[in-house]
Each structure stands twice: as C-alpha cells, then as structure tokens.
Amino acid sequence: VSGHRLRLATLALLAVALGGCRGCVSNRPPIHLNPNMDYQPKVQAQEDSEFFADGGGMRHPVPGTVALEDPVELDAFVTGKDAGGAPVASVPAAARERFGGEEAFAARGLERYEIYCAPCHGSAGDGQGMLRRRSGVASADLRLARLRQAPDGHLYDVIANGLGLMPSYAAQVPVADRWAIVAHVRALQAASPVTGDAAAPDAAADAVDAAGGEAPADAPPAAEPAAEEGR
Amino acid sequence: VSGDRRYWRSLERLRDSPALAAEGRLPEHLRPELAAGADLPPDGPTRRSVLGLMGASMGLAGLAGCRRPEEAIVPWVQAPEDVTPGLSRHYASTFPLAGSAAGVVVESHEGRPTKIEGNPRHPSSGGAASAWTQAAILHLYDPDRLRAPLRRERTVADAGAAGDAAGGDAAPDGAAAVPAETPPPPAERVAAAAAGAAEGSWADFVSAWGARAEALAADGGGLAVLAGHHASPTLARLAGELRRRFPRSRWVGWEPAGDDHAFDALGRRPVLHLDRARVVVALDADLLHTESEAVAHARGFAAGRRPDDGGAMNRLYAVEPAPTVTGANADHRVRLAASQVGAFAAALAAELGAGGDAAGELPAAVRRQAAAMASDLRTAGSAGLVAAGRRQPPRVHALAAAINRALGAEGTTVTYEPLPDGAARGAAAALAGLVAAMRRGEIDTLVVLGTNPVHAAPADLDFAGALERVPEVVQLTHAADETSAHAGWVLPEAGWLEAWGDARAAGGTASVVQPLIAPLFDGRSAIELVALLARGEEVPGHDLVRETWQDALGGAAGGFETAWRRALHAGVLPDAAAPAGAGAAPAAAAPAEAAAEEGGPAEGGRAADGGDPAAAASAPEVSPVEGAGEAAVAGDGELELIFALSPSVHDGRFANVAWLQEMPDPVTKVTWDNPARVSPATAAGLGLEDGDVAVLGAHGRSVELPVVVQPGQADGTVVVELGYGRRAAGRVGSGVGADVYPLRTSAAPWFVRGASLAPAGGRARLARTQEHGSMEGRNLVREATLDEHRRDPRVAAHGETEAEAVELWQRPELDGTYQWGMTVDLAACTGCNACVVACQSENNVPVVGPDQVSKGRELQWLRVDRYYAGDAAEPDLVFQPVPCMHCENAPCEQVCPVAATVHDAEGINAMVYNRCIGTRYCSNNCPYKVRRFNYFNFTRETPELVRMAMNPDVTVRSRGVMEKCTYCIQRINEGKAAAKREGRRLADGEVRTACQQTCPSQAITFGDLTDPDSAVSRSKRSPRNYVLLAELHNLPRTSYLARIRNPNPDWPASGGARSEATEVAT
C-alpha cells in the first residue's frame, strides 16, 4: 500500500469524523484545539476563583483603608455634609470646577441622569420611569415641593447612600458626577410645575423613601398608569 | 582606564582555555550550547522541581482537554465604591523587616495586591524598593502557608534533667559548649509539623490561653516571648501591656542576622546619610545592598555620583573580605579578612586621632592604604563617613562612631536615632539567658512570634533541645517551619499585606501598615496575638493601631479622623506624631560614650583603649556577650569562616519565595544555592576548583557544599551565606543549598577562625548565570576615571566603531506620537537586582528552577551582567543591566518567519505571543542575547493562590513562546489611555517601567525621545552616552552612560604584584 493512498484514506476518515459532528446538538463547550494562551493562569476582573469561598476573584477593599485614588479629605464635596453633619445647602464649587465650567457640568449631569436615574425617576423627574411603567414599582417624584426645598446635600446623600427602596449608587456614580446629577435635578425642578406633596401616588412613593424601608402595606404600590397620565 | 582594559566574566575565561581542555574539561563558554539531554523534558525529581516550583498541581480546569474551559463571570454582589473592575488602585503601606521599615505603594487589582513599589514620601524607600520588599507579593501568595491553627499534644522532658544538657550555662563561651555533632531533626519529624498535629481554631486557642493564663504564676514568671526585632509602636505598647499583666514575664527581641552589634556598641541606631557624604568608608559593610536601610543608602550614594556637568562625585572605600555590591561600587576596595577589619578600624582611628591602636597586625601595604583613606577622610571633614557592618563586633562600631565624631560628621553624615521599639542592647545575651532558663525549667510558656529559632539560633544553644523542656510553646508563623515541629500551638500569622500595623523607620518617620486584602487564611497579626495574650480577648488590629495613635493625632487640626485619613493616604504619619506610651526613646548613652566598649578575653589584648578620651570612663548600659564575634577559634583549621546575610533568602525567612531563589547573586551569579566562596589562591592551596564539592568544618561539625572560586576575596577566608538548607521551608525552599547555621555559635556569630575546607570528591552543578548571554569580550562596559572624564567628557565613548550607514533592511516607520527610549547610568547602577525582581513581578516572568537555569533557560527579561576587570586577585567589578535594546533596525524582526516580533510606530520592538511558533531564530539573531524562550509550560500548574500574584494586565506565556522586555508596554498603554481620556499628551515621567520605578539609585531613565526636555532625552545628550555594539548599526533605543570612577590620586598600590598571566583575557 502506498503512503499516498494511506494518507488519502486517513483524510477521508478525518473528513467523516469531523463532518459527522455537524448539526449534532451538544451541551458541552466547543472544541478548542489550540489553547493559544486564551485562558491564562491569572485572575482577571470578574473572573471566578476556586480559592475564595464566594467563588469570585474580586475582593472588597479592607474596611478603613484609604487608596491613593481616594479623596484625602472627607469634606462637603465628598460627603455632602458640613462639619456639623447637616446636609450642605448647595452644590460645592469644587464640583463645577471638576468639569471646567457650568456648561460641561450641566451636560454631564444630564448624561449621567439619563443613564442612572431616568429608568426609575423618568427623564422629566416625575417618577414615571420605565420601572414604574413596566413593573409598577414606585419611585419618588423629584418635583415635589418637599424635594425642592431639601438642601442639595440631601439629594447627594440619597444618591450616595440610597433611601428606602433606592439602593446606593456610590459604586456606579463617582462623587463629582453625583453633584452634576443633583444640579440636573434642580434644573428639572425649575423647568416643571410644582407637584403637590398630597398627590396620592407620589406621597406613597415618598413615604416609602421616608420610611426608609418597605412600602406601607396600606399604600397602593402604584396607581394605574392611565390614571397618572390623565392627572 | 577605559580603552585598554580587559573585562572578563569568569576565571575560566581568564585562564588559558586549551589548558582546561587538556584536562578533559571544557570551559563553560566552549561547551556545546546545549547540554546533553537538554532536549528531553524534565522528569522525576527534576520535573517536580521545575513544574511544581510554584506549587501543587492544581492546573487550569479544562486546559488539559480540548474543550473550551467553562468560565464564570463573578461580579460583586455589592460593588465597593470607587473600584472599577480592570483598573488598578494603589495603597500606601509599610514593609517591616527585622526592625526596619520601608514605605511602599502596593498596586491592587480588584482588591488583590499584585505589585509592590516604593513610597516616594517615605524616607527609607524614597519611591524605590528592594528585591525583598517586592518579593513579598509572592510570599503572601505562598501556597505552603499555614492555613489554620494547629494543636499538638507535647510530651515535656523532665525539667530536672536540664542540668545534663550541653550548653546549660547562661552564656556558653565558644567551642567547648557546643554539643558534638547533633544530628539535625529528621525530615519526617519536620513534615509532621503539619501532619502530627490536629487542626484547631482560634476560639480553641483563646479558651486554652485563658486557662493557661490562670495557670501561670500570678506575676507571669514562667511566660516568655521570643520575637524578631520590630519597629512597631503598637506592638511595643502591647508588649508593655503584657508586661503589666505579667510583670515577671520576659520579652526577648532577637534577630538571627540583625544589627545587634551596632545596637550593643552604641545603644542607638546609626542612620547614615550618604547623600551628604563626600568620602565614605565601609568597614565590612554592604551598605548598598544587604545592610539595613540599603535602599536609602543607594539613593543617597547615587545622588552624590552624577558626574555630568561638573556634578559632585563622592568617593567610596570598601574594606571587606569578599566582593559585595558595595565593594563593586567602591572606588577603592581593600580585601581583608573580617577579623582584621577591627585592626583596620583601629588604624584608621589612630590616624584620625580618634583613639584606636595603630600598631595592629596589618600588613604594611594595608596600613598605607588606611593612612591614605584617613587623609582623604580628614580632608572631607564633616562630609566624611565611616560605617561598620553588622558582621563586625561592637568594638568596631564604637570605633566607627568615634571616628565620625572626630571628623565632625555626627549630625551631618550620620545621626543617631533610638533603637527600634522591639530591639534592645544585648539581644544575643538575652537569647542565651532565655535558653538557659528554658533548660532550667523556669519557662512554662514560650511564645515565638514570627521567628524561627530552631533553624537560626546559634548552634551551641541547642534551641530545639531546650524547647523540649518547655511545657507550652505557642508559635505565630507564616508557614509551618522547623520550629513548628516543637510547638504545641502553631498559629497562622496574617502578614503585613493582610493586617493593620505600624512601624517606625530608622530616621524616625512613623507609618501605618495598611492591609491590602483580608487575611487569606485564618491568620492573626503579631499585634493581635499579643493583645490577646495581654487582654485575654481578641481585639481587631485596626482598633489596636488606632488606639496607639489616638493621642498623638487627636490634637491635630480637624481631629483624629482627619489626621488618620491623611496618614493612610500619604503612607507616613506626621513628623511630630509620637505615639503615647510607646516608650520610643530609651535613655541610651550617646554613641561615643559607648565607645570604650568591649574587650573580652578573646580579643588578645587588642581592646580599644577608649574611642573618645572623654567617654572612656562611662560604662555601657548593657554588656553584650563577651568577646562576641572576634577571633574565636572553631577548630584547628587554618581558614577564617565568615557568614553573610543572603541577598536572596535573607536569614532564611524568604527561602520559599521562588523569585528570590532564582535571582542570581550579584557577584557570584549563582542561583538556588549558597556555595562556599574562597579566593583563587586559597582554592589552589586547598586543591579545590570552582564547582567542587567540599566539606566545610568548624566547631567539630561539618557541612557539605559546593565551592565557588571568587576573584577579589581575601585569602584564607571562606564566605558562606546563611538561610539556605531549610528543612521545612516548603515546596520551593526546602533542601535548597546547605544549612550553615550549625557552624554558627553565640561566641562567633559572624566569623570564626580555625575552620577547614577540604575536597569531598565530586562536582556540583551550580545553577549559575555567569556565562549566559555572553557578548564575547567586546567593548560593552565602558568606564573612565573622574579625571579622564573631566579632561575629555567623551572619553568613555571613544573606541566606538563608526556605525556604517549601510542599511541591511528597510527601517520600520516610526511615526508614533511618542518615541520611547531608555538609558542606564552605569555610574549610578549598584547591581542590586531590585530591577530584576520588579520586572519578574510586573511581567509575570516564570521561575524555571535550578536545573533549567544551569541549561541557560532562565527567563528573567532583565539580566545584570557582572564583569571583572584587571587582576584575578584584586579585580574591579562592573555591573551592567541588560534588557531588550529595542533596536530600530532590529535583527530579530528580520528573521521571524511569522512576524511574531514586529516594530510598533513608537519604536517598541513588540512580541505577538500567539503568533510565535517557537523557531527561536530571533534569539539566534539577537546580538544582545536578551530574548527568552519558554522551553516548557512553566506556568501550567500554577496553583490557584499563585495565580493571584500574576499581573492581570500581562499575558501569562505558554510553552514554545519567545518573550523579552517590552518596555512595560502595558504601563505605556495604561498611561496613554488615561491621557487620551483627559485629552492631553502624556507628561514626562508619567509612564515608568517597573525597573525604572524601583531602582534605588535611579540609574534607569525612560521616556519619550520626541520631547527634547524629557529626562531621557537629556540623559541621552550626556557625553557618557553610548550604545552597545554600535558597529552593527542596530540603532538601539536603550543606551548606557559610562561608569565614572573617582579614585584617590594618592592611593598606594596594593601589596601583591599583579601577575602577568592573569592580565590576559578572553
């Protein structure tokens, strides 16, 4: 038998063997013949790790530590509170400086608001975001008189630490961006009519915030969207 | 000096090669490139040592099969603020080591520390980091660490039998007390450190300690703590608390290789300011490398050695037995046995009117050299500095202090700070006293804090034997070690990267140890354990450290929290802050007052006659062990045995850190071993040759180890490094090298006469990088004296062949925004290897093991070549770090058949790893021999824990792939991305390579060549600038600045005539 024929036969067999897999359903991972350093023995962001009990390779910073990237001073710009612990009245000047002027600051606020806030609070700040419309979960109407009167530091604090159903956005929204969002909320408030604190759905939503916990059992979690639109 | 000097790498090169061939042994450089069997995969024990180096075979799930491995994305459930996955963060912290402290900045990827650099704000590091500091990353992720508390029931030898024990006296004096030939504990017994013990828990220990504390005498008379030196105000405060609870307990601070002799002599810690010195004399002191505070010394030394533009040049003299990094950098080196350095110091002192006895036993030539040195020092006045090494007895330290005082250097080049909180005078005597008390059965409970006395205590003390008489032994340890086999409680220690702490640097600056990660295992820090011992309950370390600083920082403007946060951010505490109740400043005698120190019977009537006349009367507070370290006799041999701290494994504590094991010794270029070093003449006299196995005997004991013939060593001396031959170091360090601690006694901790060295038959294969990457005797290192340089600044560049303007191939288009380049200043480079470890850590460079190193397969991208120049007996040494040159006309690129190595637009010779098919043509064509090939899959069996030490930003290479220096391209890209986000150009110095960043002497400059004002552009304009092998017209982007020596014009020639034969080179 010549080597040539043998090679031909091998090729044919290989074609059948490989071609035979086509169209078959398998739950196993795809064949990956050349490892090619695609999977390396290092721990990348969000990679799993067999070492830690929670299965993830990412760790929390040790409580109390301060990184070089962290702010040195925990001043009003970072905490939203003054020396006495009361929320500051207005957005610190440092926030505007960070973006190099009012225009960029406002633009940043709009952009960040649309990404992180609008899904719940609505683009107009009326609490009618996609979450409300889809699931009926209540979000605060940012145009409330009470929130108009609240100091800027309060809004900042809610973004940073959450309130009621709203979780903290500290991980997603850095400090300067939080102030930009606060400024944007102020712009929304200025551009819209005052809504009464007594309005039932908003009161309920705000009550959730104010209670700092679960929604009161007697308050309707949400009104009919149609009814709200009519209001 | 520059033009006609011959440089050589090894004695084999210097000798007539045919003569060797006639003996049937080819010199290393003439042997075939590949050793026999080089093409075979490692198997048996070799395989284990290669592939298992980094740990158990965890393997990567799925890699073995041909299916794609299933990977999970595991996000945070609750994401921490300010951490963006994929972006690194940095924390200021402090690396404590044996009583000193180095400020560091640790890079963290998603909460895992991955790289350690120096903290520019900390005076002991100044932004640089030693090899030890950087290797702490691998130490943290050591898979052999102790994972949980272990409990073992021990049977205690009858205390009544204590009297029978050898060396039962408080201070055993010399050889007589040494038990004859005690066999080391069998390996099985050490293995049982883990196996024979039951796993306990901290809760068990807390309740056990409660019972134990009750059982202790009310005054705690039976309690003793043995700890290493530390500089932690918090630990000192808690030790005070422990003493208040148990007033008669004892705390012994002891280091196997610490600065005891300086502390004993001076009662204070001398802090050297080399940046202010013009003339420095190092008396057996490796100031630039292995002494404490070497990083600060190297920075100060290099700051005084900037010869361009008429900059200042200091002058360094080294008096030492075997060449060290310091000796290699010295302008004049005097080789002298360690025992004669005392006489040298006395002669120097006599010349300078600082006491001392000129009529020592020094040879006349050496006396003339001492006189020349003294006259140079006298001229320098307060800018002079004399430093004694840790090896020298207290008397020499006192003499050095007296000379400095006579020069008026006190307060300028040397200042005296209080001893570290955890150190006291007379540590050696305190240890001996403790052991004696243990033997007498006076110690009920011994707590061993992070030290390994069974391995490292002086052999005459027989610490292991004494431990058998202690009913309860508690050990806090990083990993189960030799001492753990004798401990009832073996508790896992949370290291400095995992726990809160604090430390005071030599200069007095205090800093906080910030943890980077929660303890990987169930560990507690030393301060937490001591607090537990003192208070009976567990207190978090964070609270303990804050308690210490509460008062000191509470008064600051803004209150404690503000000041504390600032301290954590900066990495240093405010200067004025002194912790309350730490007792940081012992009322110590002024240094010179202790100058009239010492003078044991063993000194043979050569006792210092009182350094400072005024101080001669006052007695030292604590008397050190009598006659420590000088002229003790170990046997009837003729050699002087000298111990050295290993630049790799320290005193043995880093034995399981593979990076350090594989880091070549700067001078001998030996990896993975601690050979006995002897001078060529001594070797010839003993009938030994380089690589022979020999028996080293002293004190009636012997150790078998290989011999390295070391040019430049003092005749009649044998130098061996401590810390090797660990029996229970772990998978990397156990059984590497020979344990020479059995030859070390409390009477002669550093050097001893009367040792013997005899051939044992057989040859050892040393894993040595000396000949690797040789460049065949071309004019590669250039140097000139300062005078020559001043007369003609381009003197070092002479001898350069004019580059031919013939281009062999088309040049790459170099049109990038930035054009990267590097210079290495040989006048500043000390050869300390910090860059080698920095590169290894940053770039995930695998460790290959001794067998592969001996085949020339080490993978470190950056090598430091060491050349000798001149006579074999007293050569000069030069170091030259060689990374990839990033040639613009790169020869490697032209021969790669798959375009795996290509040029980028910014002038970087880049490797595309997954194009590489492993032809190795590029390596063959590289004239600088900087390319490294992965002969095996060295990273495949990386254990889960060690994976975390890898830099996530750098590819972990696989088998069959060529790799080399990339100018840290991941850092360049990170910097460029950040600059682009902010819409600006990268600033000069914003991107720094790992080697540049860590260099203690700032010898490496890197940056953008298109910016004429960048540091690297300015550096390249230096008249000393030259490139390697310019005649090849490769146009390397990495260039060198020639070394400038600053010899003393009045230096007398050394005694021995230089032999003609040894001048012939290569």
User: Which residue in chain B is spatially nearest to A55 when comparing CA positions?
Assistant: B74
Q: Is A36 at the interface with chain B, CB within 8 A? A: yes
Nearest CB among B67, B947, B952 relative to A28 is that of: B67
What does the pLDDT average to over A63-80? Answer: 88
What is the number of other CB atoms lying within 10 angstroms of the CB of residue B992?
A: 20
Residues 142-171 of A with CB under 8 A from B: 170-171
Residue with tokens 């962290």: A70
Q: Which of B69, B914, B939 sits opposite A36 (nearest CB)?
A: B914
Chosen for mutation from B67, B94, B520 (greatest number of chain A CBs closer than 10 Å) is B67
Q: Are B923 and B933 in contact (CB under 8 A)?
A: yes
A212 has a pLDDT exceeding 50: no
Residue B11: the pLDDT is: 64
- Look at A121 and A23; give whichever has higher pLDDT: A121
Element spanning B1005, H or E: strand B1004-1008
Q: Does the model's ipTM exceed the 0.85 cut?
A: no
Q: Contact at 8 Å (CB) between B253 and B427?
A: yes
Q: What is the number of H-type helices and E-type strands within chain B?
A: 30, 39
Helices B233-245, B541-554: inter-axial angle, 10-degree rounding: 110
Query: Are B565 and A36 in contact (CB < 8 Å)?
Result: no
Residues of chain A contacting residue B91, judged by C-beta atoms under 8 Å apart: 65-68
Binary contact (B944, A51; C-beta < 8 A): yes
Q: In terms of Cα–Cα distance, which of B472, B463, B466 is closest to B444?
A: B472
Q: How far is B991 from chain A (nearest CA, A)?
A: 17
What pLDDT score was predicted for residue B356? 67
The residue-averaged pLDDT of A152-160 equals: 92
What integer pLDDT is reported at residue B1065 of this predicted model? 34
Looking up tokens 């995930």 gives B844
And the tokens for B913?
């790893």
pLDDT along chain B (1066 residues), means of 10: 60 56 52 54 46 43 65 88 89 92 93 93 89 93 90 67 39 38 41 63 89 80 90 92 90 90 89 92 93 91 85 90 93 91 89 72 86 91 92 91 90 89 84 91 90 91 90 91 90 93 88 93 92 90 91 79 90 66 36 36 32 33 38 74 93 91 92 92 90 90 92 92 89 87 90 90 84 64 86 73 68 89 93 93 90 86 89 87 92 92 93 92 91 87 87 91 94 93 91 94 94 93 88 89 90 55 33
The partner residue sitting opposite A69, judged by closest CB among B69, B89, B951, is B89
Which 3 state secondary structure label does DSSP give B415? strand
Closest residue on chain A to B84 (Cα): A171
Question: Residue A28 corresponds to which tokens in the numbers above?
Answer: 């196993």
- Residue B417 C-beta-side C-alpha neighbours within 13 Å: 20
pLDDT at B327: 93
How far is it, in rounded angstroms, from Cα B347 to Cα B368? 10
Which chain B residues are within 8 Å of A161, Cβ to Cβ?
A: none
Distance from CA of A193 to the nearest CA of B (A): 35
DSSP assignment letter at A113: I
- A158 vs chain B: nearest CA distance in angstroms? 15
Interchain CB contacts (distance < 8 Å): A and B = 171
> What is the b/e burial string over B456-492, where b = at least 16 CB atoms within 10 angstroms of the residue's CB?
bbbbbbbbbbbbbbbbbbbbbbbbbbbbbbbbbbbbb
Quick one: pLDDT at residue B1005?
Answer: 95
pLDDT surpassing 50 at residue A213: no
The span from the CA of B513 to the CA of B136, in Å, is 14
The better pLDDT of the pair B627, A184 is held by: A184
Residue from the list B66, B514, B947 with its beta carbon closest to the beta carbon of A42: B947
Query: For residues B56 and B143, is the Cβ–Cβ distance under 8 A?
Result: yes
The answer to whether the CB atoms of B79 and A57 lie below 8 A apart is no
**Interchain contact, B940 vs A172, CB within 8 Å:** no
Q: Which uninterrupted H or E stretch holds B239?
A: helix B233-245
Beta-strand runs (E) in B653-725: 670-671, 676-678, 692-698, 701-709, 717-721
Beta strands in B463-581 (DSSP E): 472-477, 489-492, 501-504, 510-513
User: Closest Cα partner for B377 from B335, B345, B416, B415?
Assistant: B345
Q: What is the pLDDT of residue B36?
A: 53
B735 class by beta-carbon count within 10 Å (0-12 exposed, 13-18 middle, 19+ buried): middle
Question: Phi, psi (5° rounding) for residue B261?
Answer: -65, -40
Q: Measured between beta carbons, which residues in chain A are less than 8 angstroms from residue B841?
A: none
Nearest C-alpha of chain A: how many angstroms from B118?
A: 13
Give the sign of the dihedral formed by CA B665, CA B669, CA B674, CA B678.
Answer: negative
Q: Are B933 and B920 in contact (CB under 8 A)?
A: yes
User: What is the least distance, in Å, from the CA of A66 to any CA of chain B?
Assistant: 6
Q: For residue A36, give the chain B residue with the closest CA.
A: B914
Q: For residues B865 and B847, what is the distance between their CA atoms, to the nearest angstrom?
A: 19
Q: Is A104 on the interface with B (CB under 8 A)?
A: no
B67, B514, B844 member nearest A29 (Cβ): B67
d(CA B112, CA B120): 22
Give the CA angle between residues B692, B697, B699 to the nearest 5°.
Answer: 170
Are A37 and B79 an interchain contact pair (Cβ–Cβ within 8 Å)? no
The per-residue pLDDT for B309 is 75
Interchain contact, B108 vs A69, CB within 8 Å: no
Residues in chain A with CB shorter than 8 Å from the CB of B513 are: none
Asked whether A180 and A108 are in contact (CB, 8 A), the reply is yes
pLDDT value, residue B168:
37
Tokens read off for B72 = 């999970």
Amino acid at A16: V
Nearest alpha carbon to residue B492 among B528, B525, B454: B525
Q: Percent helix, strand and coil across chain A, each rounded to 5?
A: 45, 5, 50
Residues of chain A neighbouring B516 (CB-CB closer than 8 A)? 62, 65
Cα B873–Cα B878–Cα B882 angle in degrees, nearest 5: 140
Q: Are residues B347 and B370 in contact, defined by beta-carbon separation less than 8 angstroms?
A: yes
Cα–Cα distance, B822 to B817 (Å, whole number): 17
Are the beta carbons of B127 and B117 closer than 8 angstroms? yes
Answer yes or no: do B955 and A40 touch at CB < 8 A.
yes
Q: What are phi and psi of B298, to 5 degrees?
A: -65, -40
User: What is the reported pLDDT for B691?
Assistant: 87
Phi and psi based region of residue B859 (left: phi greater than 0; alpha: psi -120 to 50; beta: remaining):
alpha
User: Of the candidates B93, B232, B110, which has an alpha carbon nearest to the alpha carbon of residue B525?
Assistant: B232
Q: Let me know: does A183 contact A106? Beta carbons within 8 Å.
A: yes
Task: Give residues with Cβ within 8 angstroms of B219, minimum separation 6.
Answer: B246, B247, B248
Q: What DSSP element (H or E) covers B821?
A: strand B820-825
Measure the CA–CA gap between B639 and B650, rounded to whole angstroms.
24
Tell me the three state secondary structure of residue A179: helix
> How far A15 CA lies from chain B's nearest CA (Å)?
18
pTM: predicted TM-score of the whole model, two decimal places:
0.84
Pairwise CB contact (< 8 Å): A59 & B82: no
CA distance B517 to B513: 12
Q: Does A85 touch chain B (CB under 8 A)?
A: no
Helices A175-190 and A102-112, interaxial angle, to 10°?
90
3-state SS assignment for residue B727:
coil
B351 burial type by CB count under 10 A (0-12 exposed, 13-18 middle, 19+ buried): buried
By Cβ distance, the residue of A51, A57, A73 closest to B74 is A57
Q: How confident is the model at residue A224 (pLDDT cuts 50, 70, 90)?
A: very low
Distance, CA of B237 to CA of B550 (rounded, Å): 13
User: What's CA B1019's distance to the chain center, in Å?
Assistant: 29
Question: Residue B938: closest CA among chain A residues belongs to which residue?
Answer: A41
Contacts of A170 in chain B (CB under 8 A): 81-82
Contact A55 B940 (CB under 8 A): no
**Cα distance from B561 to chain A (closest Cα, Å)?**
9
Res. A220 pLDDT band, cuts 50 70 90? very low
| C-alpha–C-alpha distance, residues B726 and B589, integer Å | 39
HEC string of B62-85 equals CCCCCECCCCCECCCCCCCCCCCC
B165 in Cβ contact with B462 (< 8 Å) = yes
B562 CA: distance to closest CA in chain A (Å): 7
Distance in Å, alpha carbon of B942 to nearest chain A alpha carbon: 7
